[in-house]
A and B are shown apart, each in its own frame.
Chain A
Amino acid sequence: MDAFLLQILNGLDKGSAYALIALGLTLIFGTLGVVNFAHGALFMIGAFCAVTLQKIFSLSFETVDPEKTDFLGNPLKVKTPYVESWFGPEFGGAIIDWSVPLAILFAIPIMVAVGFIMERGLIKHFYKRPHADQILVTFGLAIVLQEVIKYFYGANPIPTPAPDTLNGVANLGAVIGMDLIYPVWRIVYFCFACLIIGAVFAFLQFTTFGMVVRAGMADRETVGLLGINIDRRFTIMFGIAAAVAGLAGVMYTPINSPNYHMGMDFLVLSFVVVVVGGMGSLPGAVLAGFVLGVLESFASMEWAISLIPGINQIIIYLVAIIILLVRPRGLMGRKGVMED
């Protein structure tokens, strides 16, 4: 029983990342009608925003400590981060410690800017081109972005820990008298994801801007006829989608040390999520994200593997194939989206 509950938690946690990426992917697809293979790269860039901020905070000056020697026998150069010398070791240390949550603020403008540049600079020219062309050009872009990051940050994963206070575990089961230990940061991640998802839905539901965008998603031409500049709003939506992916990346860094190819790792998965949810359906993307996360967790349990060897390797793809054959429009897809 505990084991199942734990796996559900794990699934929801994995699902949070899937859902956030798929949400952005679907926003872009639903509004702009563009299949963005570079979306995984946006997730990765978000994660590297956190890395960058951590590096900025850790910028240090060197002082020579004559007492100690380095590996070559020379006097050891001790590095002291500037923030620690400016704000004192305690507060300065806390800033470095909290660099991942702080990176949220840092990442939002960067991601929105990246989104704008991508949309205005590249994607814009592909609205009228076939989906295959969109896939191909964004696939190329994804390669370029990942290689650029690799050039600057190397191929090795870079540790970006969560703040110390959020690094431990919490007993979630205490309330119901069970022993259900779970990492705090993963709970934070799940809550954060829910918050973002809620915010995006609320934004679309309750603001005029959101209403126009929703109308545009349903019928672009009609809205265009009303004299509303839908294109500009769509550009902004692209920025928002990029920011959502980026934030998903920022907050993901303590869970797994980021590396340059994490975007590609998530790309295929997130496409499967979107397709399973139904192209163009926002609730579908979120639902599918969580469902696939939970299924993936269940499939990695021993009884599943002993039942079908290798099921943990292929579960996501298997589900995708079955859903696509049985429910061609995915769980919640609308009619007429990408059917030709």
Chain B
Amino acid sequence: MSKTDVSRRGLLKTSAVAGAGLAVPTIFTAQSAAAFTNNPTGGTVTLGFNVPQTGPYADEGADELRAYQLAVEHLNGEGDGGMLNTFSSKALEGSGIMGKKVEYVTGDTQTKSDAARASAKSMIEKDGAIMITGGSSSGVAVAVQGLCQEAGVIFMAGLTHSNDTTGKDKKANGFRHFFNAYMSGAALAPVLKNLYGDDRKAYHLTADYTWGWTQEESIKAATEALGWETVNTVKTPLAATDFSSYIAPVLNSGADVLVLNHYGGNMVNSLTNAVQFGLREKEVNGKNFEIVVPLYSRLMAKGAGENVKGIHGSTNWHWSLQDEGSKAFVRSFGTKYGFPPSQAAHTCYVQTLLYADAVQRAGSFNPCAVAEALEDFEFDGMGNGKTLYRGEDHQCFKDVLVVRGKENPTSEFDLLEVVEVTPRAQVEYPADHPMFAGGQLGSCNPGA
């Protein structure tokens, strides 16, 4: 059997035309080799948005989906254009991608690697999606990235923070705009030093799975470089809901900083529990006890309520940023949906635009051409200052935000305030940094 997984859609159109002309069904055997998977030959191009629609991250997924819909509107020249107006590359003109109208299909990752791969496959095989994007956990991102590499389509990662996504598990067809655990550490460390001094004893609680470990490793390295001492690191089960038995030992450990390497429901609960145990009012070694949540998100902050006040952490982006790009995006998003976008929405929106722009510049939907256009592409006007898509590992390098839970929020969205914008230079690292070692990008796969 020959390898004939070629563009169905293309053949479909031609055969439909042929069938109409001959008025008898014509049987085509797909031998005419197209160059790559799902080459869009009609007037439209289909993107695949793979986000959690069910399960605990459904709300985050819903926000991602809103951003995607907005991005599609802007690409097709509807709405106010959003960041297209501020984007440094002017290749896109609001007439779709390379003149083709952008359409999309959605899938539900359920925040499970299996389900995410299944829905991505369905979008590729059934709906002819040329690019897959989205997701809100690193496990899913790595799994789907692997799939896209095999299938020969581009994967534009959504929210994924683990070092592995562009480290050990990086793939030639996968690109990440979101920042990572190393960058969180590098951005947070100087701020923490300014705020809390260089003589601190840190206690880590870490979600017991890959992302948690890479974050713990990164934060530990960054803070130890400041002179902090790591008193202890404890792994907590993913399924844990009550963290009291992990918080209690912190009280008498001699530590004066608690680092919570948790995300989602875990983070909401562990932070709530930590505050319950009076850690924030506690004094140890003559210093105020502090809690740090290295990866912050507004949706999580909302879940934790009052407890986030004064707690520091890092995010990829925040809607209160005052640069033109951010303002334009918040304006379009807020006008359409009535509330400001989350960082997940931002990264997804930007990823879609970046992909479209790369196609436009490359002049081809071929994944290899797109990848080439994205590699070492430097741009601005997307909300994080001057940004570089590094070719060696497909990671974006840009400014990282250090934020703090706001003491006096003026609205239900106004939960975090930006403490510092850590410049890109400070969070950069060589591609062969030991925390990212072990994987190979491989070569780009156009499929077919």
Contact = CB atoms under 8 A, between A and B. Distances in A.
A28 to B, nearest CB: 23
B73 to A, nearest CB: 18
Nearest to A150: B58
A155 B62 CA distance: 10
Contact of B276 (A70, A72, A185, A261): A185
Contacts, number: 128
B248 A10 contact: yes
Contact of B239 (A10, A13, A265): A265
Contacts of A155: 55-59
Contacts of A183: 276-278
A2 B252 CA distance: 8
A313 B208 CA distance: 10
Interface string B303-320: 111110000000000011
Interface centre among A159, A182, A302 (most CB of B within 10 A): A159
A86 interface: no
Interface string A244-277: 0000000000111101011001100000000000
A200 B218 CA distance: 51
A264 to B, nearest CB: 11
Contacts of A186: 244, 276
B251 interface: yes
A161 interface: yes
B416 interface: no
B305 A257 contact: yes
Contacts of B60: 156
A70 B411 contact: yes
A302 to B, nearest CB: 7
A158 interface: yes
Contacts of B305: 159-161, 257
B56 A6 contact: no
A6 B245 CA distance: 8
Nearest to B234: A302
B269 interface: yes
A136 interface: no
A265 B269 CA distance: 13
Interface in A1-57: 2-3, 6-7, 9-11, 13-14, 17
A54 B55 CA distance: 24
A255 B242 contact: yes
Contacts of B320: 71
A72 to B, nearest CB: 5
B326 to A, nearest CB: 11
Interface residues of B, number: 49
A157 B263 CA distance: 12
B25 interface: no
Nearest to B414: A71
Nearest to A185: B276
Given A76-B410, A157-B303, A265-B239, A259 B56 contact: yes
Contact of A257 (B245, B304, B330, B410): B304
A231 to B, nearest CB: 36
A39 B111 CA distance: 26
Which secondary structure dominates chain A's binding surface? mixed
A159 B307 contact: yes
Nearest to A268: B239
Contact of B334 (A6, A71, A257): A71
B391 interface: no
Which secondary structure dominates chain B's binding surface? helix
Contacts of B334: 71-72
B306 A161 contact: yes
A156 B248 contact: no
B299 interface: yes
Nearest to B208: A313
B64 to A, nearest CB: 13
A159 B304 contact: yes
Contact of B335 (A6, A72, A256): A72
A84 interface: no
Interface in B325-367: 330-331, 334-335, 340
B330 A13 contact: no
B252 A3 contact: yes
A228 interface: no
Given A68-B410, A71-B413, A302-B234, A11 B277 contact: no
B299 A156 contact: yes
B232 interface: yes
A181 B56 contact: no
B57 A181 contact: no
Contacts of A159: 268, 272, 302-307
A18 B147 CA distance: 42
Interface in B389-418: 410-411, 413-414
B246 interface: yes
B411 A76 contact: yes
A159 to B, nearest CB: 3
A316 to B, nearest CB: 10
Q: Name the 9 nearest CB pairs between A and B, nearest first.
A: A159-B305, A169-B278, A155-B58, A157-B303, A297-B245, A183-B276, A300-B245, A6-B248, A156-B59
25 contacts: A6-B249, A14-B244, A68-B410, A71-B340, A71-B413, A71-B414, A72-B331, A155-B56, A155-B59, A157-B265, A157-B268, A157-B269, A157-B303, A167-B276, A169-B276, A169-B277, A179-B252, A183-B276, A183-B278, A186-B244, A256-B268, A265-B241, A300-B236, A302-B232, A313-B208
Interface of A: 2-3, 6-7, 9-11, 13-14, 17, 68, 70-72, 76, 150, 154-161, 167-169, 179, 181-183, 185-186, 254-257, 259, 261-262, 265-266, 296-297, 300-302, 305, 312-313
